[in-house]
Amino acid sequence: MAVEKIIELVGNSQVSWEDAAHNALSGAAKSLHGITEMEIVRWTAKVSSNEIVEYRAAIRVAFVVD
């Protein structure tokens, strides 16, 4: 029986929310092995002078515990 752990991460991007989510997952994959699922928790953005200057994606990542 496999056991999975779930953690929450936030990625950012100057380009898009999709890119921010991808960056969060890519960052997680550098130190986590056996990632099985990713869930988008929320989209947010940093705003300056009425313009989006940074897209942020909070994600939950599930991975198998060794």
Please give the pLDDT value at position 1.
Answer: 75
Q: Are strands 35-48 and 51-64 parallel, antiparallel or unpaired?
A: antiparallel
Domains of the chain: 4-64 (3.30.1660.10)
Helices (H), 1-66: 17-31
Please give the pLDDT value at position 2.
Answer: 86
Verdict on whether the full-model pTM lies above 0.85: yes
Would you tell me how many other CB atoms lie within 10 Å of the CB of residue 15?
A: 11
CA angle 51, 49, 54 (to 5 degrees): 40
**pLDDT of 18 higher than 90:** yes
